[in-house]
Amino acid sequence: MQKLVAALALVRLAAITAVALPLQMLAVRFGWRLARTLPVWWHRRAIAAAGVRVHVTGAPVPERPLLVTPNHCSWLDITVIASLMPISFVAKSEVASWPLFGLFAKLQRTVFVDRTRRTATGRAASELADRLSAGDCMVLFPEGTSSTGNAVLPFRSALLGAARAAIDGGGHERVWVQPMTVAYTRIAGMPIGRAERPRVGWYGDMELADHLWGVFCAGGIDVDIVWGEPLPFDATTDRKKLAATLEAAVRGGLNARLRPPPRVEGSEAAETAA
């Protein structure tokens, strides 16, 4: 029964995409304001079709420029985050060549970076700085790759240099950098343990099509989004120290969602008595 529901949801999403895709192509080509808002509309319908329930704590800082730095554990992160507000991403260069998903990334006005070449990273940082200076809210995954979702990988500081470039070249006194925690907590209403984590986390050599189908067949997924305390990046900021601070904030948010504090001995008996 769940597979039938998933198949019907995919058919509905395909029909919506068939209408939205050419419209977004036109919006991006001609610079319409719709190019920023149509992806939000589509991503909200995509997560609804997949049965994903998003629970948000906190909010993005209203000032711009703004660079958001979440942890990364699945392709689903993109759809969840993009459903919140008009936003664009920084992605590894090979994403641009992926079937369909590469096209989606381009139409989301993604900045692509070849992280194996230092000169390419510099060009991507410059493009990212231009987008930040123009007022776009940009998302950078500082881990550089996806993980199981059980922990946060070390944050890389290289592309945080785009914040300094936005200051130097864009006439800004500072850029806001805001950590974000993405924590998948439940599948079909049940807490996600380590054994079930690969049903949500997409990493290594997992097949995308199989994983996507598994998400649609999961029976509902709950994800917590936690906006952390925004940090100012100015001309005096050490980007490596900033990366470490952002990493600690995201790790703390993830641990709080996935590893609740242990029960105090005797508390169960006290609750029963009450």
The three-point CA angle 248-179-245 to 5° equals: 35
Q: Is 133 inside any structural domain? A: yes
CA R_g for the chain = 20
48-61 burial, b for 16+ CB within 10 Å, e for fewer?
A: ebbbbebeeeeebb
pLDDT of the residue at 162:
75
Q: What is the pLDDT of residues 15-65, one digit of tens each?
A: 999 999 999 999 999 999 999 999 999 999 999 999 999 999 999 999 999
Q: What is the mean pLDDT of the chain?
A: 88
Cα separation, 105 vs 103, in Å, equals 5
Q: Is 16 inside any structural domain? A: no
Q: Which domain holds residue 91?
A: 51-259
The model's pTM is 0.89
Which pLDDT band, with edges at 50, 70 and 90, does 91 fall under?
confident
Provide the H-helix boundaries in 50-195.
76-82, 101-107, 118-133, 161-170
Are residues 188 and 77 in contact, defined by beta-carbon separation less than 8 angstroms?
Answer: no
Q: Is 172 inside any structural domain? A: yes
Which of 226, 146, 216 has the alpha carbon at shortest distance from 179? 226
Q: Residue 175: CA atoms inside 13 Å, Cβ hemisphere, count?
A: 34
Q: Is 145 inside any structural domain? A: yes
pLDDT at 273 over 50: no
Are residues 209 and 178 in contact, defined by beta-carbon separation less than 8 angstroms?
Answer: no
pLDDT of the residue at 188:
93
Percent of the chain, pLDDT > 70? 91
Q: Is 72 inside any structural domain? A: yes
Cα separation, 268 vs 250, in Å, equals 31
Cα separation, 146 vs 97, in Å, equals 18
Q: Is 60 inside any structural domain? A: yes
Q: Is 7 inside any structural domain? A: no
Q: Is 23 inside any structural domain? A: no
With 0-12 / 13-18 / 19 or more C-beta atoms within 10 angstroms meaning exposed / middle / buried, residue 221 is buried
Q: Give the distance between the most distant pair of CA atoms in the chain.
A: 67
pLDDT at 244 over 70: yes
Number of domains forming the structure of the chain? 1
The three-point CA angle 87-89-91 to 5° equals: 170
Helices and strands, counts by H and E, the chain: 9, 9
The three-point CA angle 41-47-48 to 5° equals: 85
Return the higher-pLDDT residue of 201 and 120.
201
The three-point CA angle 248-63-230 to 5° equals: 10
